Amino acid sequence: MQARPSGPAPWDRPSGRSERRTRVSSTTLSIIGTGRVGSGLARRAVDAGLDVVVSNSRGPETLARLVAELGPRARAATPAEAAGASDLVLASVPLAAHTQLPRAELVGKTVIDPMNYAPTPDWQAQELDSNELTSSQLVQRHLTGAQVVKALHNIGPTQLLNLFRPSGAADRTALPLSGDDPDAKKEVADLLDLLGFDTVDLGPLAESWRSEPNTPLYALPYLGQPPADLTALQDVVAWAQQAPGTPVLRAQVKELADAAVRGPAGFRMQ
Ligand SMILES: NC(=O)c1ccc[n+]([C@@H]2O[C@H](COP(=O)([O-])OP(=O)(O)OC[C@H]3O[C@@H](n4cnc5c(N)ncnc54)[C@H](OP(=O)(O)O)[C@@H]3O)[C@@H](O)[C@H]2O)c1
């Protein structure tokens, strides 16, 4: 097991969180990148009573159908307009596109980073391949002046839309989050609480590898057991995209994060 820096793990420290908990500071969630993850989160957010501003690379007019489906709480905008519309912004674009996120408009914002590194012949990042940085540190480096919080990267949109539960439910799923700014992490924890999830603080962005691809906390626990007769990778992926999911409690998240061993970065389909 990889040695942890001195001192207890963040999840073992008394946080006093229950006394500090407040409501989400913004009633609007802005979303840059409205594909599978962004549209799934938009649905959950609207159902939970938030307004959403959705954006993509092709322009607001291409999001008309989604906005109609989401109803009056949703509107479409450009990424820059979306960034300016809320203090809470989900950046659900491919990691390779993180340098196109609107840096100036995101200054001072809490940016939720669900992006996973998946090296391709077209895009690889040497600092990730060498484990010098985590992918969220790379994103934070681009987004100078924003507070990046890694979250929502290790659960699929289908599971997210099935596993939400009210606060205090015995089978409430917990999600890991990491970040360098305590206030931003609290804001994201409050958002996830509103959306129906507990959270476990894994520490700073440098420690976010503990929940990235190739660790025990990444995706699989939330999916449950695939049918035994699925062997081909594309069949497993197809199953994972529609599996309802299985609850993962806070204690299990802590246990899996602590058991993580840092290996090669990046999700590889092979
Ligand atoms: N799929 C999953 O199960 C899953 C789970 C957890 C985390 N993630 C991570 O979440 C991120 C999104 O995944 P996804 O599956 O939702 O991807 P996706 O379905 O391919 O959607 C990507 C979205 O990003 C938009 N986009 C791309 N470049 C952009 C730019 N420069 N500016 C604004 N928007 C841009 C795309 O816009 P257009 O539609 O206009 O091209 C699209 O709306 C990825 O980093 C992925 O690693 C995925």
Atom of ligand 1 minimally distant from the CA of 37:
16
Question: For residue 190, is it within any domain?
Answer: yes
Question: For residue 267, is it within any domain?
Answer: no
Question: Tell me, what CATH number does 211's domain have?
Answer: 3.40.50.720
Query: Which pLDDT value is given to residue 67?
Result: 98
Top mutation candidate among 54, 92, 98, 149 for ligand 1, by most atoms within 8 Å of CB = 92
- Domain total of the chain: 1
- Is the beta carbon of 38 within 6 A of some atom in ligand 1? yes
Q: Which structure tokens are listed for 154?
A: 């290790």
CB 125 within 8 A of CB 101: no
Question: For residue 142, is it within any domain?
Answer: yes
Query: Which pLDDT value is given to residue 187?
Result: 97
- Is the beta carbon of 79 within 6 A of some atom in ligand 1? yes
Q: What is the pLDDT along the chain (270 residues), one digit of tens a residue?
A: 344 555 555 544 443 333 334 467 789 999 999 999 999 999 999 999 999 999 999 999 999 999 999 999 999 999 999 999 999 999 999 999 999 999 999 999 999 999 999 999 999 999 999 999 999 999 999 999 999 999 999 999 999 999 999 999 999 999 999 999 999 999 999 999 999 999 999 999 999 999 999 999 999 999 998 888 988 888 988 999 999 999 999 999 999 999 999 999 998 765
Question: For residue 4, is it within any domain?
Answer: no
User: How many CB atoms within 10 Å of residue 98?
Assistant: 23
- Is the beta carbon of 161 within 6 A of some atom in ligand 1? no
User: Which residue owns the Cα nearest ligand 1 atom 46?
Assistant: 115
Question: For residue 7, is it within any domain?
Answer: no
265 φ, ψ to 5°? -75, 150
- pTM here is 0.93
Question: For residue 41, is it within any domain?
Answer: yes
Q: What is the largest CA-CA distance in the chain?
A: 51
Identify the domain containing residue 223 by its residue range: 25-259
Query: Which pLDDT value is given to residue 99?
Result: 98
Question: For residue 174, is it within any domain?
Answer: yes
- Is the beta carbon of 178 within 6 A of some atom in ligand 1? no
Question: For residue 20, is it within any domain?
Answer: no
What distance in angstroms lies between residue 20's CA and the mean position of ligand 1's atoms? 33
